[in-house]
Structure 1
């Protein structure tokens, strides 16, 4: 960056305003909420209740607790060195250029594969209300993809404002869903608490892996914050509180209000809304599905495009993709590559009517690998920080290793990307990285 973070902040304090193209606290919190509070809110409360009954609430609570050290680790790293390279930058500092290239490829070539899956998920939920079959589903998904990429074509400031609207609307509608179902809550539905045994909590927790991802996403946008040292940590805390309350509240009311019928596939949220709004609840649930999908897509498209530009800048991708890596820049060339990858995957899935679950799991495996190496980098780079920062990084690493085991054979995809990245490194030597954060 042309100016240091300290110089930028000093200048902002003198002017008393947020410079063009920079994220503020509210927009940063919205991006975090959109990245983490993903499409899992539509299906997972019901699916986990089906797996473990009311005991699934233990898995949800564990998810929130496990999110704390992971979120804290990435927030500490992002606040200390705001850079569009995100986790790749931290890994470069800790373990060198080859490891940074590998982790960068995991995210840059892994996340776009899952973006069409998000679009299809939201589109299929909408189709349940309007009808039209697969043709309608594919059309809705295409429209969601177009909106997501267009929002990012005009820069992160526009993207941040869009995210603020999406996340705010989503949170409001989820609160409404919880409140309208409260009169139907019956504590008797908590019995028996563990109908399938306490061991069922494990499989229920495994279902929540998809909802666990997202905390690394905003690190790629850390340089876009007006006051990164202050607002990244504040945004992380705000997002943790919002996500924890919404996730646990939705899971709890699903069990209390729906009882034995809570174990439906992807309609538990619609069922909750129907309790208070009748048939209109299905329409409202579709609106929530669209907001959730667009919010998650927006966060991942923005961060992935920024990462690609940063990787190009550092020599880990072709140099022609490097424009827009600077703070405030719009990485349109990198965004175009992300669009091509996601578009190709979308067209294949649309034409073959294939199941999108493998796309989701491949992406989860890649993002889990990013988490693991990023947490390891945090354990090394935060040693000169507080003991709490180092402990959070170590705890995060242990948690992620467990989650990676749950992904099974889908770890083949990040392994393939690892081999490709190492071949690139052998053919395109890069400058050695600085050993520590500045």
Structure 2
């Protein structure tokens, strides 16, 4: 059985990491967070970036030492065994019904702006996104990383134009109040904003496909997080200064609103195209990651299964098709459910926080010296973020408990045969 091809370069990895973090979040999270915390959102960004940096460093250390398509679940296996590995893997896969509908709905919304009228229906646009995902994924990881690097450059230019034409000064980016004055609002804002740094765990699945994973993988994570954090902070300043937030409609259309305000209506098509590509970049990496998660489990526990096969281009074809079909079903579910996007985001964030938490606990056991100390600190930060999400965490915790209880049945029927 052949393995995944090592085709991802350092620049391609940075492009994938940064666009994954910037994707859907840039087009809704700053405005939603501003509606929750107002000007204090800037403090929330500082708190979140402070929490994410050690987590990113820890993921980088784990990925450098254990580059594997299994990602976070593989780290868990090394530390705690195969049963918990499968629980975390299935928990990651379970994000599809709550996380993917929100992301694809936003991408489809942008796509509707430049599709012909006959195709400009929400569900049709979303299914076309899924088809495009399959085309890009079957082109190979090298083409995918180059594609996302181009998108990253486009996003940087777009936010740079917003800052320039928005007349942003240094004083606009300095918080004016004390963060202690609105701690509950800051906690609620962080719970939503955590979505912006969801993607590190998905990127962990790509470590095995780097040309030089020991050197390039950790650098790609750290530089990608730094770029994304800077872009989010700058764009949040623009949102606050021009009051591009406040209602549910404005929160989800803050980028087009600012575009019309600062550039005029002539560039609406360009904003729609950039928005679509940015959202697509995030979904693309998750499609790759979910396929590689399925392939990794099949490779280890059922190597004779069709899911464990690799195409001549080094692509887990059957696993990718399974993910594509699941995404299409999730799109239909998301469109018919009419659940608020903010609810989807919070539930998905709960799942990701649990995955991050177990990855950090694994690092505590697997790493030594300064790496272990940083992992302990990162674990405490994950616990704080977990509490900031509040009752929405119950979805992820209950799901994990159910998966844990059902795993013995999966093991006897599906894995060992």
TM-score grouping bracket, smaller chain normalisation: 0.7 to 0.9
1:287 to 248, 270, 273: 273
| Runs (5+) with no aligned partner, structure 2 | none
1:378 to 357, 363, 375: 363
Preserved CA contact (<8 Å) 1:46 1:262: yes
Say yes or no: does 1:395 pair with 2:381.
no
RMSD: 3.3
Give the deviation of 1:296 after TM superposition: 0.3
Give the deviation of 1:68 after TM superposition: 0.5
**Superimposed CA distance per residue, residues 48-71 of structure 1 (whole angstroms, 9 cap, x where no aligned partner):** 222222221010122222111111
Structure 2 partner of 1:360: 345
Q: Determine helix, strand or coil for the equivalent of 1:216.
A: helix
Structure 1 partner of 2:331: 346
Taking structure 1 as reference, are residues 130 and 333 closer, same or farther at Cα in structure 2, changes over 3 Å only?
closer
Partner Cα separation in structure 1 for residue 266 and residue 294 of structure 2: 42
Give the deviation of 1:356 after TM superposition: 4.5
Give the deviation of 1:186 after TM superposition: 9.8
Taking structure 1 as reference, are residues 134 and 201 closer, same or farther at Cα in structure 2, changes over 3 Å only?
farther
Partner Cα separation in structure 1 for residue 94 and residue 304 of structure 2: 14
Taking structure 1 as reference, are residues 425 and 254 closer, same or farther at Cα in structure 2, changes over 3 Å only?
same
Partner Cα separation in structure 2 for residue 186 and residue 80 of structure 1: 40
**Superimposed CA distance per residue, residues 157-202 of structure 1 (whole angstroms, 9 cap, x where no aligned partner):** 222122222222222222222222126x695898975799533322
Partner Cα separation in structure 2 for residue 174 and residue 85 of structure 1: 34
| 1:133-144 matched pairs, under 5 angstroms | 136-144=121-129
**Superimposed CA distance per residue, residues 349-389 of structure 1 (whole angstroms, 9 cap, x where no aligned partner):** 33455545544344322222111111100111012xx41x2
Preserved CA contact (<8 Å) 1:273 1:284: no
- Report the TM-score when normalising by structure 2: 0.87
Partner Cα separation in structure 1 for residue 179 and residue 289 of structure 2: 42
Taking structure 1 as reference, are residues 247 and 191 closer, same or farther at Cα in structure 2, changes over 3 Å only?
closer
- Report the TM-score when normalising by structure 1: 0.83
Preserved CA contact (<8 Å) 1:101 1:316: no
Preserved CA contact (<8 Å) 2:347 2:392: no
Partner Cα separation in structure 2 for residue 20 and residue 320 of structure 1: 18
Give the deviation of 1:39 after TM superposition: 1.2
Preserved CA contact (<8 Å) 2:30 2:193: no
Give the deviation of 1:420 after TM superposition: 3.4
**Superimposed CA distance per residue, residues 12-64 of structure 1 (whole angstroms, 9 cap, x where no aligned partner):** xxxxxxx9651000111111112222312112222222222222101012222
Say yes or no: does 1:424 pair with 2:410.
no
Partner Cα separation in structure 1 for residue 138 and residue 295 of structure 2: 14
Structure 2 partner of 1:436: none
1:334 to 319, 329, 332: 319
Q: Which moved more, 1:400-409 or 1:188-197?
A: 188-197
Preserved CA contact (<8 Å) 1:86 1:220: yes
Partner Cα separation in structure 1 for residue 314 and residue 366 of structure 2: 27
Number of residue-to-residue matches in the alignment: 408
Preserved CA contact (<8 Å) 2:354 2:396: no
1:24 to 1, 4, 9: 9
Partner Cα separation in structure 1 for residue 282 and residue 345 of structure 2: 13
Give the deviation of 1:410 after TM superposition: 5.1
Q: Determine helix, strand or coil for the equivalent of 2:28.
A: helix
**Superimposed CA distance per residue, residues 74-96 of structure 1 (whole angstroms, 9 cap, x where no aligned partner):** 11111112111111111111001
Partner Cα separation in structure 1 for residue 192 and residue 99 of structure 2: 16
Preserved CA contact (<8 Å) 2:104 2:129: yes
Partner Cα separation in structure 1 for residue 260 and residue 178 of structure 2: 27
Preserved CA contact (<8 Å) 2:346 2:392: no
Q: Determine helix, strand or coil for the equivalent of 2:205.
A: helix
Q: Determine helix, strand or coil for the equivalent of 1:329.
A: coil
Taking structure 1 as reference, are residues 111 and 395 closer, same or farther at Cα in structure 2, changes over 3 Å only?
farther
| Runs (5+) with no aligned partner, structure 1 | 4-18, 431-438
